[in-house]
Amino acid sequence: MTAKEKIEALREELHRHNYNYYVLSQPTVSDKEFDEKMRELQDLEEQHPEYYDENSPSVRVGSDINKNFIQVTHKYPMLSLANTYSEEEIADFYERVRKTLNEEFEVCCELKYDGSSISLTYEKGILVRAVTRGDGEKGDDVTTNVKTIRSIPLKLHGKGYPDAFEIRGEILMPWLVFEELNREKERREEPLFANPRNAASGTLKLQNSAVVASRKLDAYLYYLLGDKLPCDGHYENLQEAAGWGFKISPYLKKCSSIEEVFDYIHYWDTERKKLPVATDGIVIKVNSLRQQRNLGFTAKSPRWAIAYKFQAEKACTRLNEVTYQVGRTGAVTPVANLEPVLLAGTVVKRASLHNADIMEGLDLHIGDMVYVEKGGEIIPKITGVDTNAISMLRGEKVRFIERCPECKARLIRIEGEAVHYCPNEAHCPPQIKGKIEHFISRRAMNIEGLGPETVDMFYKLGLVCNSADLYRLTADDIRGLERMGDKSAENIIQGVEKSKEVPFERVIFALGIRFVGETVAKKLARAFSTIDELMGADLETLKNVDEIGEKIAESILKFFSQENNRRIVDQLRNAGVQLQRSKEDAEQYTNKLAGQSIVISGVFNLHSRDEYKEMIEKNGGKNVGSISSKTSFILAGENMGPSKLEKAQKLGIRTLSEEEFLQLLE
Ligand code: IVH
């Protein structure tokens, strides 16, 4: 490969990684690999200035700009930090600073928090704006979302803060919140967040700030900017800021020798694992602002600071085999089976390979020595192949399977999606068993006495081929089977019987329609009073239900278009399962607003905004955030915003007052 080709290949690859990371929040390589590739590109570009390109990924920092937010230009550009994994380079940095300043200096050592960076502007002690880093020049205005984060003061305490200033920091999702969120996503069969950083940045970009609030984000602030800061010391300024109500890391430490810096690095390399939030390194900053100004900036980063990044915990082991798991929705996941290896305190035997693209990117061969990492992620992942250990007799290349490992159906891949599916929903054993297991689970039909092993046995014996078959079982069928006595048989029959009382919304969830989790099931049960209404709804009607978009609506249509699923519904109906809303529910719900998209705007006197939202939902309508040609009407209180009013008039959308709206519902 010529240098030019190499440069182009690296640029293309880094552009793709940037997109995966910043736009999709789904990175496919480790930070270290990314940094190494970037460095390789920078070196090559330096050697070959003739191939300069203003759009090279090396000349800009990644962009997290999202078209749904207003973009704001940063008053001071948001630069990144030079970073390194080598202690030697930290010593070089220290030496460079010493030589340039040619006087005594102190550095402030701090943890490098691994979240999403944010810039907050305060005027007269009030938070007026919160902007993401974006491309460093301009970012997204996410003020509404940031205001939901409790550790960020909306109004400052004490006095002594400048009239106007900016403070920068990191928005974080604590480990516990992240793990719970992923458990929830797993239950809904949604893609998981790879790490708390992606979860935090993904959350900041949500359009619904109520959901943001529920995600319990946290924030540490670490950089004060402004014309009239109280002190010359960075450390001292942050202590002042703590007094104004900001959350400042309690672990800042001023050091005046490189030995102290290394002590700090070594101490936190292990201690950081006990912290409730993710960190990925240490930042070392020259403390005096005057000295900082003396040192100045390069085009991309300050000369007065550097980041030392910790190595992710990593091990090298043999790849024995790649197997494939088929989930209840037919999604096929490749799994690497490894020679057991100790990693961060646990023995790792398997690692997810996620999907065909990621697997292909790794260029795996059976028998390769592979690197397994457990960085910010909970599931270990394979990050590369030890190319030094590759011999002439390399094993067979791993290629994604074309047929389902269980039922041999030809796999399909939906355009634009990374996942392969087995389309044989009705006859593929793990899909059938998975659906029954989902059906009986606690949050669905909650059938006690049954578990995955029993389901497996019943299925193998031909006693049940779908969830509805459970209602045909008799105690005689079960008695005498392996590990089944009279008592167990009775329990199962009773459990099945009791599930006939489970309310409609949970039955919808139990059906196992792809993308229909508990919340969506609830919304559907509110919008449709019987399963027949739901089965009869067309795409538009479904899309008019709150929280239901094209993807979910299509999945529902597809589910009910399948003969097999309709038969199951019939069987469930005959068995006496709740396929309509209960009487008590029915009294609360109507269809008066079915199919209507309603915008709520302004200030209300008779009920709160939340109460109106609930009324809309209970009457089958959909509350939407912004006015479009699809809006049915606007429930308008006092002081409706002028831009909304103008838009409504332009599109000819009628507005209803509180009184008119209540009359409509009477
Ligand atoms: S100082 C001029 N301090 O690391 C640079 N950054 O590439 C000012 N970060 O974008 C940044 N912890 O998102 C600073 N204690 C800390 C930090 C920190 C995390 C992030 C920040 C920045 C990136 C550096």
Mean pLDDT, the chain, whole residue set: 89
CA 78 to centroid of ligand 1, rounded, Å: 9
Name which of 13-22, 333-342, 345-354, 428-437 the model is least confident about. Answer: 13-22
**Cβ distance 388 to 316 under 8 Å?**
no
The pLDDT of residue 26: 66
The pLDDT of residue 462: 93
Q: Looking at the predicted structure, is the pLDDT value of residue 579 above 80?
A: yes
The pLDDT of residue 62: 39
Confidence of residue 379 (pLDDT cuts 50, 70, 90): confident
The more confidently predicted of residues 273 and 172 is 172
Element (H, E) at 519: helix 518-527
Confidence of residue 378 (pLDDT cuts 50, 70, 90): low
Q: Is this structure's pTM higher than 0.75?
A: no
For residue 194, give the nearest of 426, 60, 37, 376 by alpha carbon.
Answer: 376
Q: Looking at the predicted structure, is the pLDDT value of residue 60 above 60?
A: no
Most informative mutation of 75, 85, 112 for ligand 1 (most atoms within 8 A of CB): 112
Q: Looking at the predicted structure, is the pLDDT value of residue 167 above 50?
A: yes
The pLDDT of residue 394: 85
Element (H, E) at 196: helix 196-204
Q: Looking at the predicted structure, is the pLDDT value of residue 213 above 60?
A: yes
CA 131 to centroid of ligand 1, rounded, Å: 15
The pLDDT of residue 61: 41
* Nearest ligand 1 atom, CA 110: 15
CA 386 to centroid of ligand 1, rounded, Å: 31
For residue 299, give the nearest of 83, 450, 82 by alpha carbon.
Answer: 82
Q: Looking at the predicted structure, is the pLDDT value of residue 235 above 60?
A: yes
Residue closest by Cα to atom 16 of ligand 1: 112
Q: Looking at the predicted structure, is the pLDDT value of residue 23 above 60?
A: no
Cα separation, 27 vs 316, in Å, equals 21
The pLDDT of residue 186: 74
CB within 8 A of 107, min separation 6: which ones? 94, 97, 254, 255, 256, 261, 284, 285, 286, 287
The pLDDT of residue 605: 86
**Cβ distance 282 to 306 under 8 Å?**
no
Q: Looking at the predicted structure, is the pLDDT value of residue 441 above 50?
A: yes
Over residues 462-497, the pLDDT tens digits come to 999 999 999 999 999 999 888 888 899 999 999 999
Confidence of residue 66 (pLDDT cuts 50, 70, 90): very low
CB within 8 A of 641, min separation 6: which ones? 601, 602
Residue 561 CA neighbour count, 13 Å, CB half: 9
Percentage of the chain beyond pLDDT 90 is 56
Q: Looking at the predicted structure, is the pLDDT value of residue 25 above 60?
A: no
Over residues 354-376, the pLDDT tens digits come to 889 989 989 999 999 999 987 65
The more confidently predicted of residues 595 and 129 is 129
Name which of 167-171, 184-188, 224-228, 316-320 the model is least confident about. Answer: 184-188
Ligand 1 surroundings by CB, under 6 angstroms: 79-81, 110, 112-113, 117, 170, 222-223, 283, 302, 305, 307
Confidence of residue 544 (pLDDT cuts 50, 70, 90): confident
CA 345 to centroid of ligand 1, rounded, Å: 29
**Phi/psi of residue 174, each to 5°?**
-60, 150
The more confidently predicted of residues 27 and 200 is 200
Most informative mutation of 108, 110, 222 for ligand 1 (most atoms within 8 A of CB): 222
For residue 77, give the nearest of 164, 136, 142, 139 by alpha carbon.
Answer: 136
Confidence of residue 159 (pLDDT cuts 50, 70, 90): confident
Q: Which residues are catalytic?
A: 112
Cα separation, 134 vs 23, in Å, equals 11
Confidence of residue 53 (pLDDT cuts 50, 70, 90): confident
CA 9 to centroid of ligand 1, rounded, Å: 29
Most informative mutation of 117, 135, 286 for ligand 1 (most atoms within 8 A of CB): 117
* Nearest ligand 1 atom, CA 61: 7
The pLDDT of residue 290: 96
Confidence of residue 410 (pLDDT cuts 50, 70, 90): very high
Dihedral sign, Cα of residue 522, residue 527, residue 532, residue 534: negative
Q: Looking at the predicted structure, is the pLDDT value of residue 565 above 80?
A: yes
CA 310 to centroid of ligand 1, rounded, Å: 15
Cα separation, 409 vs 422, in Å, equals 7
Residue closest by Cα to atom 3 of ligand 1: 222
